[in-house]
Amino acid sequence: MIDFLELLSDYPLQIAVIASIIGAYLWPIIGRFIRNLFVRIRYPNVKRGYCSENLRIESFSSVAFERNGDPILLERMWIRNFKNISDIDLLFTEESQLEGNWSCIAGINGAGKTTVLQAISIILMGERLVTELGRERLRRFLRRHKGATHKAEIEAVVRQGNRRCRLYLPLDENGVDNSKLLSHKDYHLMSTVWKLLGDQLVVSYGASRSLSDSLDNRYSNVSRAVQRHMTLFDPLSQIANVEAVIGEKSEISVKVVRVLSNLIRETLSDKSIGLLPVIRDSGITFKQRTASVQAIDLPDGYKSTLAWFADMCSTWISATVPSGRKGDDPRAITGIVLVDEIGLHFHPSLERSIISMLRRVLPNVQFIVTTHSPLVLSSFDRSEIILFDKDADGGLRYLDRQIFGFTTNEVYEWLMGTIPQSQVMEELLRTRDEDSSVYLYQSPQTNELEATEIQNRRRQLLRELGLFKGKYEKN
């Protein structure tokens, strides 16, 4: 011990240099070990290869993005004290066996599916645009619990190629908490990324999206960039850009028609009901059997999907024309698209196929969607499904199997925790009315008349055995 102290007193500078070199080498290793250990404890079901590289917001330095670089994608997100969500971490770019870049959020009503989409929309809009939502609306996003109002925080990691940048947006009673935001070490980088996101396709569509031939002026003072998200925040608002489908000819709509028509042909053209698009420079109409139908008069499922198709194509054309990237192929579209209840109003035949068709036709778009449909859910890789479950650790349920081959009933029971039958039959059986048993005999293979015959034969057999005395039998 004395020898060491003598050495320290004789060579203090040399020892300090050696210690600093050793510390500089070992500290990153020790820090990486501690972070990985924390991640593995908190997120035991996430692939460790993914955790060690991507699930560490503190472990990387934000890098400036390029103006004409690859499209920006959302990789990970943290939401704290936002509406009904207290604290949740979400991954959006896990490896999938399927084509495209998709995430599907599922769960019961009130679990927070739409809330997550709203939080994503807000963090991608950024500090300047989000204020256009209005202070009162931003105030309603704050979580209220046991009489207290908590400040909200949304944090995300976005990626452009191999470059990553952190985004952070704190909210308080006055809207954006500028004191926190401006003091963030990556504020200037974040501001640049938000400007770049404003130049690419980033759109949101709420469950009430549809076409309308009336003009909604309530958000005329809001920028076009924010209007593209309003249906997610106001169910009565209208899709921003639908000139191409309601026949209002403009310079941009003529360009949109060419891209939109190819998208429609590969997704919504349905020969089984005789619905075929008729493409004109002034807009798009549909031929249904022998009749010509305007887009505004289509069934709700087609109309709501056509509305966000048109807006997406219009936004992309507007964003890409200045850079010279033109074309009619929807496969060239890049960006981030949020869709609440993507299968809404669809017939089951289209619910079953819409995701696969969109994967094929729009392979370069990052989709983040929600659904209640078991047919839509079974179109996703298990790594693409974010399943809210209040009984699971962290409020999210990890799937240990693929559900591609599940029947609708199996998805209802195993994934959604719902009996795949109406409650009507249970209520009828509780009345103990013997005539209700005829409903149990009916099936896709047995009609009502055949079921009645089966019921009568079984009653007769029970009478012969002395085991049946119905309400109409005499004592």
Q: Give φ, ψ of 79 to 5 degrees.
A: -130, 125
User: Residue 469: pLDDT band by 50, 70, 90 thresholds?
Assistant: low
pTM of this structure: 0.81
Q: What residue ranges in 6-151 does DSSP mark as E strands?
A: 73-82, 85-91, 101-106, 143-145, 148-150
Beta strand 365-370 with 101-106 is parallel
- Residue closest to 256 by CA, chosen among 169, 195, 209, 321: 321
Which tokens hold the place of 363?
């392979």
Q: Which of 49-58, 234-243, 339-348 is predicted least confidently?
A: 49-58
**Alpha carbons 18 and 284: distance in angstroms, whole number:** 74
**Alpha carbons 180 and 200: distance in angstroms, whole number:** 27
Judged by DSSP in three states, 106 sits in strand
| Top mean-pLDDT range of 3-12, 120-129, 266-275, 303-312 | 120-129
**Alpha carbons 95 and 115: distance in angstroms, whole number:** 25
Checking if the pLDDT of 91 tops 90, the result is: yes
Bridge partner residues of 82 (DSSP): 85, 142
Judged by DSSP in three states, 5 sits in helix
On whether the CB atoms of residues 371 and 343 are closer than 8 A, the answer is yes
In sequence order, the 6+-apart residues with CB closer than 8 A to the CB of 443 are none
pLDDT at 174: 93
Cα three-residue angle 112-343-234, rounded to 5 degrees: 50
- Residue closest to 91 by CA, chosen among 144, 129, 53, 64: 53
On whether the CB atoms of residues 407 and 380 are closer than 8 A, the answer is no
Q: Which residue has the tokens 């390029």?
A: 66
Tell me the pLDDT of the chain averaged across its residues: 82
pLDDT at 43: 42
Checking if the pLDDT of 50 tops 50, the result is: no
Inter-axis angle of helices 348-361 and 251-267, nearest 10:
120
**Alpha carbons 254 and 332: distance in angstroms, whole number:** 18
DSSP labels, 231-269: GGT-TT---S--HHHHT---HHHHHHHHHHHHHHHHHT-
Q: Which residue has the tokens 């250990």?
A: 37
pLDDT tens-digit series, residues 375-426: 999 999 999 999 999 888 778 999 999 999 999 999 999 998 888 888 888 8
Q: What residue ranges in 395-444 does DSSP mark as E strands?
A: 396-397
pLDDT at 52: 30
DSSP labels, 431-453: TT-GGGHHHHH-BTTB-HHHHHH
pLDDT tens-digit series, residues 203-251: 999 998 877 777 778 888 899 899 999 999 998 888 866 655 655 555 6
Q: Which residue has the tokens 């994934």?
A: 415
Consecutive H or E run containing 368: strand 365-370
User: Residue 55: pLDDT band by 50, 70, 90 thresholds?
Assistant: very low
* Torsion 299-305-308-314 (CA) sign: negative
**Alpha carbons 182 and 167: distance in angstroms, whole number:** 12
In sequence order, the 6+-apart residues with CB closer than 8 A to the CB of 203 are 228, 229, 308, 311, 312, 315, 335, 336, 337, 338
